[in-house]
Amino acid sequence: MFETAEVGNHLEKSDYKRQEPKLRTALLEAQRALAGSNFSLVLIIGGVEGAGKTEFTNQLLEWLDARGLAVHAWGAPTDEERKRPFFWRFWRILPPKSKAAILLTSWYSEPIVGRVFKETGQAELDQRLDQVVEFERMLVAEGVLLVKLWLHISKSEQRRRFEKLEADPDARWRVTKQDWKFHKRYDKFREVCEHALMKTSTGEAPWHIVEATDRRYRNLTAARIVLDSLERRVEESRTAAKPEHKPDHPKPKVNNVIRKLDLGLKLDADVFDKKLEKLQNRIGTLTRCLSKKERSLILAFEGPDAAGKGGAIRRLTQAMDARLFRVDSVAAPTDEEKARPYLWRFWRDLPRVGRVTLYDRSWYGRVLVERVEGFAAAQEWRRAYAEINAFEEQLAESGIIVRKFWIALSADEQLKRFKDRQGTPYKQYKITEEDWRNRAKWDAYEAAACEMIERTSTEHAPWILVEGNDKRWARIKILESVVEALESGL
Amino acid sequence: MFETAEVGNHLEKSDYKRQEPKLRTALLEAQRALAGSNFSLVLIIGGVEGAGKTEFTNQLLEWLDARGLAVHAWGAPTDEERKRPFFWRFWRILPPKSKAAILLTSWYSEPIVGRVFKETGQAELDQRLDQVVEFERMLVAEGVLLVKLWLHISKSEQRRRFEKLEADPDARWRVTKQDWKFHKRYDKFREVCEHALMKTSTGEAPWHIVEATDRRYRNLTAARIVLDSLERRVEESRTAAKPEHKPDHPKPKVNNVIRKLDLGLKLDADVFDKKLEKLQNRIGTLTRCLSKKERSLILAFEGPDAAGKGGAIRRLTQAMDARLFRVDSVAAPTDEEKARPYLWRFWRDLPRVGRVTLYDRSWYGRVLVERVEGFAAAQEWRRAYAEINAFEEQLAESGIIVRKFWIALSADEQLKRFKDRQGTPYKQYKITEEDWRNRAKWDAYEAAACEMIERTSTEHAPWILVEGNDKRWARIKILESVVEALESGL
């Protein structure tokens, strides 16, 4: 694969001088088009040590307008990063629509280096690369233009450069022990990279390998790839049909997991009181252990309006130290959230190790309300199941215990509760016009929920269906499930 | 001061039961009013260990709607927090307008505890408390409703509670060694707190001391303070006159620091080239040392359009490792930024130790463009000088080297450059209609800049005035100043 970048490409100074101004103008024009567009640019600059990743970046920064452009590079993770899933640090810096980010290290760096120095096995690397492919596919689908450049030089060229730099007193610092360690492992590095690039060169985000021996050739070629990608994307977004946003009202099956629930299940008040106290004590004890065991807990609550999500959440939070948990009530996204992939808002506030986040509604809005009301296009909610599964897998992998509750309710019981809310002063705020409107789409929501449960109930993040007509029954079932989850996870 | 909270206040169960539903309804109403308002609520719950801060918080969470409410408590700082100024962790979680945050630890915790355990001296404590007063004054002026509750119990009551909890197997964990350590120092703690509360009980953010011996009395009294504060603020924002936003066009003095600059200063190309190379090498070396010395660098650039801010920034960034610096071009705020105090956007992206941020325009927009164009009300930009000085003092105190550059330009030279930009394809993007409009207000901008320089050039964050008509002269002067700043700071 890298042979194609060891063929002696180079560019004369005169040619460079002739081509550079035009390229620069075109780059600026493309950047302006980006600034007015509905996509963002993420440019990954990978490559062999010494190939000039930083040098090329500096050149690009000179050609482009620094406004709306951020350069990122990561060293060892900070403790805030270590306490969250692998991809968190990258989600943190995702540029909003119309802006660009240059990544000098990326989600490729750690897996590749880990493999080269044999800290991780081949299977582990492949697993991570599979995640990377999923992650990138999601980014692209959500409107990120992902350009991946690989700057290549041969082993002998690398040695030549390191030696030359070391001979120069002003540049000596650029060559570190680490660099020579990499040089020794050049062949292994090349092999691992070849494998990684092959696996992740996808239709939506291919790798572009650039021969980096001649600086002029490298700069112009790499910049042209960026330019072409930008121009193509601008053109596409101009001509592409806008995805249609229309409500989707699926019909529920006569027999489905929700209808099969026995909504007559009940619990007596005195049994409830005893159980509640015991379970709350247990939850208090268990959540205090999360930190020591380096785990955290995410609980998501979904269900029809008035199903009792808030009440169940309160019974849980009563049991916990207020410093350990956070309740996230998912409302309309802010403009910063709207300008990024829809999972961004959940990533940005992920609990760190030892903490609990309870979501009153969650990322499942994508396949429930956004689907039914037509806030998301069909292709958006259709691919969301896989994206959500990948997301939750990453959470689980990093040590987060994930449980999702669907609180079911009969239509009659909902009506009763709506009326009750309207009659109780401190409950009135809970009921809005929208609740009545949503009620009219009962069947569509039920069918959407069934599909959601079917497609996203996984071993590492199962859905727990809760019979919700009797609040006491529902709350105890939820608390018991949380205890179970904590006991098996800790 | 605390004697008033040791008088035996208590509430009968029957009274509590009677009053609670009304209070709850009123609290929810007030919270709904907050949700539709243009202010945010920050509720600090301080007090003696064992007084029930968490317990009261849980009660409040039950009464209120969890949506739009976040609870925060900090332990030891994370390394990301340690690598930034003291107030950074609090800025990070400032709620946007219409939302609320409950702080179970706050900017009081570390200073008070540090003093109780004699890790810090009295002078240090007082200095921090002065900063706290400034900080809170700014928050309130920027639309934060700051409510500060102090839950108090006596020394004997504290001992009684700890002993009672320890006797209960389910609650034993609540009493830590730390708690007993605090108990031993109760008298010192009381003394330090009394001092701290006295100093920080200001007109705009007074402390409310609540006797916390009787739980029912504590809960109802504390919640009523929150309620009253909310209701008063809602009423105020209803009746208060909107601050007038009108352009302010000050006249420049005939003799001022900007006019006194010798804009004829020049540098020959060959001198420039030699100096540039030397300075850039030096800057490269020095910025690489920032991390080891636990320092960071902030450079802010202001000046008329086309003064050469971007060009100067590029000469600096060329010298640095692209992984170390970030260029922040200050554009219109996002809605998340608009919903918070105006310095928030700068706090959120503060460089961590070892890093450099270059601001192409900065927080000084408040007293320049926002003043001249009328984007800020008169009282807003008038108090901004003091707020900015406090901000920069906090930066400097935490080890950030701060330098601010005003690049001066003659009106003729600006015109020349505007025309040049229009004639050069890859420079055209730099010139907009707005630039021509701003040019018409030349005098007002100059006068605003002079006032800004006079009021915000401090020892720890000086303004450096740069003669900008000759780009070579300007760039060398800026690079030399950066070298000087780094050499004296490292």
d(CA B93, CA B348): 10
Across the interface, whether the CB atoms of A334 and B335 are under 8 A apart is answered: yes
User: What per-residue confidence (pLDDT) applies to B241?
Assistant: 77
Does residue B431 surpass a pLDDT of 80?
no
Tell me which CATH code domain A269-489 carries: 3.40.50.300
Q: Which residues of B touch A28 (CB under 8 A)?
A: 426, 429
Helix A155-167 to helix A177-184 angle (10° resolution) is 160
Across the interface, whether the CB atoms of A28 and B426 are under 8 A apart is answered: yes
Across the interface, whether the CB atoms of A323 and B69 are under 8 A apart is answered: no
ipTM of the complex: 0.76
d(CA B344, CA B42): 15
Q: Exposed e or buried b for every residue in B108-125, given b needs 16+ CB within 10 A?
A: bbbbbbbbbeeebeeeeb
Name the CATH superfamily, with its identifier, for domain B2-239. Answer: P-loop containing nucleotide triphosphate hydrolases (3.40.50.300)
Closest CB from A65, A322, A327 relative to B54: A322
What is the per-residue pLDDT across B260-305, written as a single tens digit (0 to 9) for each?
A: 999 999 999 999 999 999 999 999 999 999 999 999 999 999 999 9
Please report which helix (H) or strand (E) contains residue B404, including its range. Answer: strand B400-408
User: What per-residue confidence (pLDDT) applies to A169?
Assistant: 86
Closest CB from A284, A310, A336 relative to B66: A310
B278 CB-near residues (< 8 Å, 6+ apart):
none
Closest to B474 measured CA to CA, from B231, B186, B230, B272: B272
- The confidence band for A485, taking pLDDT boundaries of 50, 70 and 90, is very high
- The confidence band for A4, taking pLDDT boundaries of 50, 70 and 90, is confident
Q: Are strands A144-152 and A325-329 parallel, antiparallel or unpaired?
A: unpaired
CA distance A27 to chain B (A): 9
Tokens of A308: 């009792």
What is the per-residue pLDDT across A206-241, written as a single tens digit (0 to 9) for each?
A: 999 999 999 999 999 999 999 999 999 999 888 887
Does residue A438 surpass a pLDDT of 80?
no
Longest dimension (CA), chain A: 90
User: What per-residue confidence (pLDDT) applies to A365?
Assistant: 96
Q: What percent of chain A clears pLDDT 90, i.e. is strictly above it?
A: 74
- What single letter denotes the amino acid at residue B164? K
Helix B109-116 to helix B186-200 angle (10° resolution) is 140
- The confidence band for B404, taking pLDDT boundaries of 50, 70 and 90, is very high
Instruction: Lowest mean pLDDT of A275-289, B383-397, B419-433, name the range.
Output: B419-433
Q: Which residues of A touch B285 (CB under 8 A)?
A: 173
User: What per-residue confidence (pLDDT) applies to A188?
Assistant: 94
A302 CB-near residues (< 8 Å, 6+ apart):
A309, A361, A362, A364, A368, A404, A405, A406, A407, A449
Instruction: Output the CA–CA distances (angstroms, integers) from residue B384 to A481, B131, B449, B456, in the order listed.
Output: 53, 15, 14, 10
- CA A295 and chain centroid, separation: 19
Closest to A329 measured CA to CA, from B28, B66, B339, B63: B66
Closest to A364 measured CA to CA, from A308, A448, A431, A464: A448
Q: Which residues of A touch B349 (CB under 8 A)?
A: none
Sign of CA dihedral A259, A265, A269, A274: negative
Does residue A15 surpass a pLDDT of 90?
yes
What's the pTM? Answer: 0.85
What is the per-residue pLDDT across A173-187, written as a single tens digit (0 to 9) for each?
A: 888 898 999 999 999
The three-state secondary structure class of B398 is: coil
Arithmetic mean of pLDDT, A54-71: 86
Closest to B276 measured CA to CA, from B14, B477, B2: B477
Arithmetic mean of pLDDT, A323-331: 86
Q: Which of A67, A104, A348 to mutate to test the interface with B (most CBs of B within 10 A)?
A: A67
B424 or B334: which carries more pLDDT confidence? B334
- The confidence band for B423, taking pLDDT boundaries of 50, 70 and 90, is confident
Q: Which residue of A has its CA nearest to B317?
A: A58
Does residue A258 surpass a pLDDT of 90?
yes
Across the interface, whether the CB atoms of A71 and B285 are under 8 A apart is answered: no
Tokens of B266: 């020049």
Closest CB from B61, B313, B322 relative to A71: B322
User: What per-residue confidence (pLDDT) applies to A75?
Assistant: 82
- CA B195 and chain centroid, separation: 24
Across the interface, whether the CB atoms of A54 and B321 are under 8 A apart is answered: yes
User: What per-residue confidence (pLDDT) applies to A78?
Assistant: 85
How crowded is residue A332: how many other Cβ atoms within 10 Å of its Cβ? 7
* 8 Å CB contact between A439 and A366: no
Please report which helix (H) or strand (E) contains residue B8, including its range. Answer: none
Across the interface, whether the CB atoms of A288 and B318 are under 8 A apart is answered: no
Closest CB from A102, A322, A425 relative to B58: A322
CA distance A252 to chain B (A): 31
Across the interface, whether the CB atoms of B360 and A73 are under 8 A apart is answered: no
Across the interface, whether the CB atoms of A24 and B173 are under 8 A apart is answered: no
Q: What is the 3-state secondary structure (H, E, C) of chain A?
A: CHHHHCCCCCCCHHHHHHHHHHHHHHHHHHHHHHHCCCCEEEEEEEECCCCCHHHHHHHHHHHCCCCCEEEECCCCCCHHHHCCCCCHHHHCCCCCCCCEEEECCCCCHHHHHHHHCCCCCHHHHHHHHHHHHHHHHHHHHCCEEEEEEEEECCHHHHHHHHHHHHHCCCCHHHCCHHHHHHHHCHHHHHHHHHHHHHHHCCCCCCEEEEECCCHHHHHHHHHHHHHHHHHHHHHHHHHCCCCCCCCCCCCCCCCCCCCCCCCCCCCCHHHHHHHHHHHHHHHHHHHHHCCCCCCEEEEEEECCCCCCHHHHHHHHHCCCCCCCEEEEECCCCCHHHHCCCCCHHHHHCCCCCCCEEEEECCHHHHHCHHHHHCCCCHHHHHHHHHHHHHHHHHHHHCCEEEEEEEEECCHHHHHHHHHHHHHCHHHHHHCCHHHHHHHCCHHHHHHHHHHHHHHHCCCCCCEEEEECCCHHHHHHHHHHHHHHHHHHHC
d(CA B368, CA B365): 5
Across the interface, whether the CB atoms of B70 and A335 are under 8 A apart is answered: no
Q: Which residues of B touch A288 (CB under 8 A)?
A: 173
Average pLDDT, chain B: 92
CA distance B397 to chain A (A): 23
d(CA B245, CA A191): 64
* 8 Å CB contact between B390 and B131: yes
Arithmetic mean of pLDDT, B207-232: 96
Does residue B34 surpass a pLDDT of 90?
yes
Arithmetic mean of pLDDT, B80-98: 92
Tokens of A33: 């088009």
Does residue A68 surpass a pLDDT of 90?
no
Closest CB from B61, B321, B322 relative to A317: B61
Helices of type H across B173-308: 177-184, 186-200, 215-239, 269-289
- Portions of chain B given CATH number 3.40.50.300: 2-239, 269-489
Q: Which residue of B has its CA nearest to A28?
A: B426
Question: What one-character DSSP code corresponds to residue B105?
Answer: S
User: What per-residue confidence (pLDDT) applies to A127?
Assistant: 92
Beta strands in B85-138 (DSSP E): 100-103
Q: Exposed e or buried b for every residue in A346-380, given b needs 16+ CB within 10 A?
A: bbeebbbbbbbbbbbbbbbbbbbbbbbbbebbeeb
Closest CB from B67, B310, B426 relative to A329: B67
Q: Which residues of B touch A25 (CB under 8 A)?
A: 425-426
Q: Which of B426, B430, B431, B432 to mutate to test the interface with A (most CBs of A within 10 A)?
A: B426
Closest to B30 measured CA to CA, from B235, B220, B206, B239: B235
User: What per-residue confidence (pLDDT) applies to A218?
Assistant: 96
Closest CB from B80, B322, B335 relative to A78: B80
CA distance A166 to chain B (A): 15
Across the interface, whether the CB atoms of A173 and B70 are under 8 A apart is answered: no
What is the per-residue pLDDT across A401-428, written as a single tens digit (0 to 9) for each?
A: 999 999 999 999 999 999 888 887 767 7
